[in-house]
Amino acid sequence: MTAFKSGDPTTLNRLYGRQSGHKLRMGQQALVDELLPAISVPEEGEITAGGLFGFDRPLHFEIGFGSGEHLAYRADMLPDHGFIGCEPFLNGVVGALGHIRDQHLANVRLHMGNALDVLARVPDGALSFVYLLHPDPWPKARHAKRRMMNKGPIDLIAAKLKPSGEFRFGTDHPIYLRWALMVMREREDFEWLCETPADFLKRPGGWPETRYEAKARRKGHEVWYFRYRRK
Ligand SMILES: C[S@@+](CC[C@H](N)C(=O)[O-])C[C@H]1O[C@@H](n2cnc3c(N)ncnc32)[C@H](O)[C@@H]1O
């Protein structure tokens, strides 16, 4: 298994950004106390589809799912597939738990914390899809190492995807866009699935708008969508 090397300065060995916001209401706290433990990724050991869902199935992995709109939409669309979502922000996790309860999703497992810790425990070549939607931009150059789009995390994503597996990335941040294109241009292990500008300017089918994205559009931001196939 490819380990997540926390000593490597190009990887994210700690969490940046906030981990909780407004106080939870009683119903939200109940979701955290009751539903979250029931569907959490185990704390230790290898993470496989069989171990999580009882039998082998295509596995999807979302890094930083925010309030879980995309995760829930995909899981609802593909009920025979398994979904792992990771998000350190408690109020976001509560949002995802609400979707999972309301949509009766039995094919989602969550981790409240750093996605890379969990990704490192997935066997190499086990994932069909990895999603990284609107990662925190860390626009200042001196914070560039905090960006998820860096060699360490992308090496890990590459290792965990199966051949022909797909890495989807979206951003509305021009600095992040340039940075991501630079990082991905260096990669010989990914093929950018792009034939015309429409491929990155228009949201691809099966890629729902998240609350974050809707807000970005309301502010007049453009949004760019990228699909990379693991060679
Ligand atoms: C700008 S938000 C976007 C949320 C969501 N992907 C969307 O499109 O609505 C970025 C999210 O990444 C999460 N995040 C930051 N670092 C992370 C990490 N190491 N592992 C998992 N999630 C992380 C943040 O907590 C935040 O919710």
- Average pLDDT over the chain, rounded to whole? 93
Return the active site residues: 136
C-beta 110 within 6 A of ligand 1: no
Q: What is the mean pLDDT of residues 92-102?
A: 98
The answer to whether residue 116 is domain-embedded is yes
Question: What integer pLDDT is reported at residue 3 of this predicted model?
Answer: 55
**The whole model's pTM is what?**
0.94
pLDDT, one tens digit per residue, over 187-228 is: 999 999 999 999 999 999 999 999 899 999 999 999 999 999
131-164 pLDDT, tens digit per residue, is: 999 999 999 999 999 999 999 999 999 999 999 9
Which ranges of the chain would DSSP assign to H, the alpha helix?
A: 26-30, 36-39, 49-53, 69-77, 90-102, 115-119, 151-160, 174-185, 198-201, 211-218
Q: Which atom of ligand 1 sits closest to the CA of residue 133?
A: 6
Q: What is the pLDDT of residue 171?
A: 98
Reported residue count of the chain is 231
Residue 18 within a domain = no
Would you say residue 77 lies in a domain?
yes
Q: Quick check: is 109 in a domain?
A: yes
Q: Which two tokens stand for residue 130?
A: 């990895």
Instruction: Confirm or reject: Cβ of 92 under 6 Å from ligand 1.
Output: yes
Instruction: Provide the number of structural domains found in the chain.
Output: 1
Task: Measure 16 CA to ligand 1 centroid, in angstroms.
Answer: 10
C-beta 150 within 6 A of ligand 1: no
Domain boundaries, position 187? 26-230
Residue 120 lies in a domain: yes
Answer yes or no: is 131 within a domain.
yes
Q: Which atom of ligand 1 is nearest to the CA of 69?
A: 9
Ligand 1 pocket member 86 (CB < 6 A): yes
Domain holding 187: CATH number? 3.40.50.150
For 28-86, the pLDDT digits (tens) are: 999 999 999 999 999 999 999 999 999 999 999 999 999 999 999 999 999 999 999 99
Residue 20 in domain: no
